[in-house]
């Protein structure tokens, strides 16, 4: 596991979702992506949005919606 990638993803997660992931969750997500089989509507593509979905037990689509909901709220001055 790349420490720089782990730290970069956690920085994104903290900034955009207000949460971080553990090293164990990150490691399991890497293994999940390497298998390349979509489960529970989480796309097995290595990116922070799918990592958030994987860690929260939600779909990649829901994680994407939450990201844009937060962005829209911030732009409107409510965040």
Q: What is the pLDDT of residues 41-73, one digit of tens each?
A: 999 999 999 999 999 999 999 999 998 886 555
Average pLDDT of the chain to the nearest whole number: 90
Using an 8 Å Cβ cutoff, are 50 and 75 in contact?
no
How far apart CA 47 and CA 50 sit, in angstroms, is: 6
pLDDT of residue 14: 96
In the three-class reduction of DSSP (H, G, I as helix; E, B as strand; rest coil), residue 19 is classed as coil
Q: How far is residue 26 from each of residues 35, 43, 55, measured CA to CA in Å?
A: 14, 15, 8
In the three-class reduction of DSSP (H, G, I as helix; E, B as strand; rest coil), residue 13 is classed as helix
Lookup: tokens for 50? 């799918």
């Amino acid at each position: 596991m790349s420490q720089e990638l782990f730290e970069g993803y956690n920085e994104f997660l903290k900034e955009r979702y207000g949460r971080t992931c553990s090293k164990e969750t990150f490691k399991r997500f890497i293994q999940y992506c390497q298998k390349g089989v979509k489960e529970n509507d989480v796309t097995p593509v290595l990116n922070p949005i799918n990592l958030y979905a994987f860690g929260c037990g939600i779909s990649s689509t829901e994680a994407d919606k939450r990201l844009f909901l937060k962005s829209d709220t911030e732009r409107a001055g409510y965040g």
